[in-house]
Amino acid sequence: MKITRQRARFLMDSVEDSIGERHAMLTISQFAQIAGKDRMTIWDRCARGELPAVQERKGAQYRIHYHQLDSYITPEVAA
């Protein structure tokens, strides 16, 4: 997924506004909080491969790149 620099800045600002820090890789809980979705919904989408995420090893916590928020967050959600 390719996004503009302006959109990337907006998404990162949304991350910082929600969790107080700037992180490129988000936990499921952080991602769900920012996207306004249920944590289990996000986990399920990661587990089914619908939402790209990485695990360091099997059973480890998923990490989701903040660019994936592009499909979930609009300027109205962030306001």
Q: Give the pLDDT confidence of 29-51 residue by residue, as tens digits.
A: 999 999 999 999 999 999 999 99
Average per-residue pLDDT for the chain: 92
Dihedral Cα 22, 25, 27, 32, nearest 10 deg: 70
pLDDT at 78 over 60: no
Cα-Cα end-to-end distance for the chain? 24
User: Which residue bears the tokens 């109205």?
Assistant: 76
> In the structure, what pLDDT confidence band is assigned to residue 75 with cuts at 50, 70 and 90?
low
User: What does the pLDDT average to over 47-76?
Assistant: 91
Fold for 5-78, please state it.
Answer: Multidrug-efflux Transporter Regulator; Chain: A; Domain 2 (1.10.1660)
Burial annotation 42-59 (CB, 10 A radius, 16+ → b, else e): bbebbeeeebebeeeeee
